[in-house]
Amino acid sequence: MKKLLVVVDYQKDFVNGALGFAQAETLEEPIAKQVQEALADGWQVLFTFDTHDSQYLSSREGQFLPIPHCIKNTEGWNLYGSLQQYQSNPPQGVHLLEKPTFGCAALPEKVRQLFQGEPEEIALCGIVTNICVVSNAILLHSNFLSSKISVLGNLCAAPNPVDHENTFSLLKGMGYNIV
């Protein structure tokens, strides 16, 4: 089975830390359930980690979003809640990928390595819908033209609900399946 679940940036700083917001906390249990079901069904699961260093504020992204967050090896960089078990001891089928900015240029190559080519299906969930989720969905769509790509809308969140919904409108217009 060549199927992949991508969990985008479900890290402490985005849930209840520097950039946290209330709705993000409500996703812990349903994302954990989705990961368990995916693994039980033979899917590969890939967690992305927004990853910065102490010089973040001097970066281009830091100029745009001047709030230090997800500094590597800090508490806020870790996966949130029960999902942290996959970070500290990843079981078979679980993969981790650090990314230095919104969209991860290394993501398509990582996926190609996992599947020795193109996967049949990719599903994405996580936070923040209108920044990191959409950026990585577009990267995957652009690199895997034959893969079915879905965004699990009920497992995504953004601080601004309007931005969240506008992102789904954009993705639908580009041919993504929003579940």
The whole model's pTM is what? 0.95
Give pLDDT tens digits for 77-99: 999 999 999 998 899 999 999 99
Give the total number of structural domains in the chain: 1
pLDDT for position 53: 84
CB neighbour class for 99 (10 Å; exposed up to 12, middle 13-18, buried from 19): buried
- As to burial, measured by CB atoms within 10 angstroms (0-12 exposed, 13-18 middle, 19+ buried), residue 65 is middle
CATH number of the domain at 171, please: 3.40.50.850
Question: Could you tell me the residue range of the domain that residue 27 belongs to?
Answer: 3-178
